[in-house]
Amino acid sequence: MQYRTFGTLDWKTSALGFGAMRLPTLNDDPKQIDEPVATEMIRHAIDQGVNYVDTAWPYHGGASEPFVGRVLQDGYRERVKLATKMPVWLVESAADFDKYLDQQLERLQTDHIDFYLLHALHQNVWEKIHALDVLPWAEKAIASGRIGHLGFSFHDQYEVFERIVDAYDNWTFCQIQYNFMDIDYQAGLRGLRYAADKGLAVIIMEPLRGGRLAKNPPPPQVARLWATAATQRTPADWALQWLWHQLEVALLLSGMSEMQHVTENVASAARSGIGTLTEAELALIEDVRAAYETMSPIPCTQCRYCLPCPNGVNIPRVFEIYNEAIMYQDVAGARTSYQWLKEEARADRCVACLQCEEQCPQHIEIVTWLKTARELLDPPDAAA
């Protein structure tokens, strides 16, 4: 295992962390973790030098935290830093901060959380918990030893990220979605550098874009490019090494769902290091990014000029989900993302008023594409 600097802390993190969000399950039920297999996977990773385990209140329908608590028995708790997250969207009053943390300590069978995150911050939820004095509350929890360090995970536009980083001088770390396709998405490369410059340890989530970049074989256009490399790697290894190459990355979390992922990613981490990829390899990864982008059928740049739609349709998000379904050949994953959209934001709310098309600088036939997207993402037989 390789170990890396973690912000300004006098502690080294393993390059690879274990994300307990995509554990193997039984009966197609996310709440039924296949405990014997998942236990073997996490303990094997720790035995191989992984020293960071990440979970959260909602993972596996609430089953992840109690499971991680059980896995870390028999001496494993002392060998790792444990991270979990405040479910900020459930918080209604300041008293809820203690309520959730107390339950999490109990679920995880521990008296302290080493790295505690405010989970999935976006503008509105950040404003809500900030007004409820989450920061003074967290400082008290740190002083009492129940929390080691405070950080946040993030899902919003870059500008919001910068605002949250700047709102507090004592963040130890943050967690962002980042991979070689997401350099301009959410916090992105700018956010990585901004936070690292301010001394925060930056943890990467979705390094394989939830598995989409790890498909083997990848789409033929991408496979042809990978085949030209002087050193052959799996698609997963390319994506992970690209992250570890970067100085500003503290560690990356992988949501490994089978033992083979653990053994492969542990082996990748052992070969990793800052600045290990060659110029030619970095150029090849850029070519792969461009190849994926050309597979994106709707030329939407996410500029949002088409918003607000008077009927509430979230046009850029629908197009993003549709493009991902085609680019990564992952219709099932895209349908799940589409179901997460509020009903009023979905494509079927479009009444073809054409107001949006007048605003679109890319001259996209929005109404036609919304119909196409709906047919793929929400077919009538899927609802039956």
Q: Given the rule CB under 6 A, which residues bind ligand SF4? A: 300-306, 309-311, 313, 315-316, 319, 350-356, 359-360, 362, 364, 366-367
Per partner kind, with CB cut-offs from 5 to 8 A, the member of ligand NAP, ligand SF4, none near residue 324 is: none
Backbone dihedral angles phi then psi of residue 286, each to the nearest 5 degrees: -65, -40
Q: Which is nearer to ligand SF4, 89 or 158 (CB)?
A: 158
Question: Min. distance of Cβ 309 from ligand NAP in angstroms?
Answer: 27
Nearest Cα residue to 295 out of 378, 222, 372, 208 = 222
Give the whole-angstrom CA distance, residue 130 versus residue 94: 10
User: Are residues 150 and 172 in contact, defined by beta-carbon separation less than 8 angstroms?
Assistant: yes
Q: Is 153 in the site for ligand NAP (CB under 6 A)?
A: yes
Per partner kind, with CB cut-offs from 5 to 8 A, the member of ligand NAP, ligand SF4, none near residue 303 is: ligand SF4
Q: Is 60 in the site for ligand NAP (CB under 6 A)?
A: no
Q: Which is nearer to ligand SF4, 48 or 311 (CB)?
A: 311
Residues of this chain, 207-246, that bind ligand NAP according to CB under 6 A: 207-211, 214, 236
Contact letters (x/-) for ligand NAP, 94-133, by CB under 6 A? -------------------------xx-------------
| CA pseudo-torsion sign 168, 172, 174, 180 | positive
User: Are residues 6 and 12 in contact, defined by beta-carbon separation less than 8 angstroms?
Assistant: yes
Question: Min. distance of Cβ 141 from ligand NAP in angstroms?
Answer: 19
Q: Segment near ligand NAP (CB under 6 A), from 254-262, 345-353, 358-366, 372-380?
A: 254-262
Residues of this chain, 185-214, that bind ligand NAP according to CB under 6 A: 205-211, 214
Q: CA of 369: how far to CAs of 315, 360, 375, in Å?
A: 10, 13, 10
Per partner kind, with CB cut-offs from 5 to 8 A, the member of ligand NAP, ligand SF4, none near residue 245 is: none
Per partner kind, with CB cut-offs from 5 to 8 A, the member of ligand NAP, ligand SF4, none near residue 350 is: ligand SF4
List the one residue from 107, 146, 245, 261 that touches ligand NAP (CB under 6 A). Answer: 261
Q: Segment near ligand NAP (CB under 6 A), from 4-12, 97-105, 253-261, 282-290?
A: 253-261
Per partner kind, with CB cut-offs from 5 to 8 A, the member of ligand NAP, ligand SF4, none near residue 253 is: ligand NAP
List the one residue from 157, 265, 272, 323 that touches ligand NAP (CB under 6 A). Answer: 265
Q: Is 45 in the site for ligand NAP (CB under 6 A)?
A: no
Q: Which is nearer to ligand NAP, 237 or 281 (CB)?
A: 237
By CB under 6 A, name the binding residues for ligand NAP.
19-22, 54, 119-120, 153, 155, 175, 205-211, 214, 236, 253-257, 261, 264-265
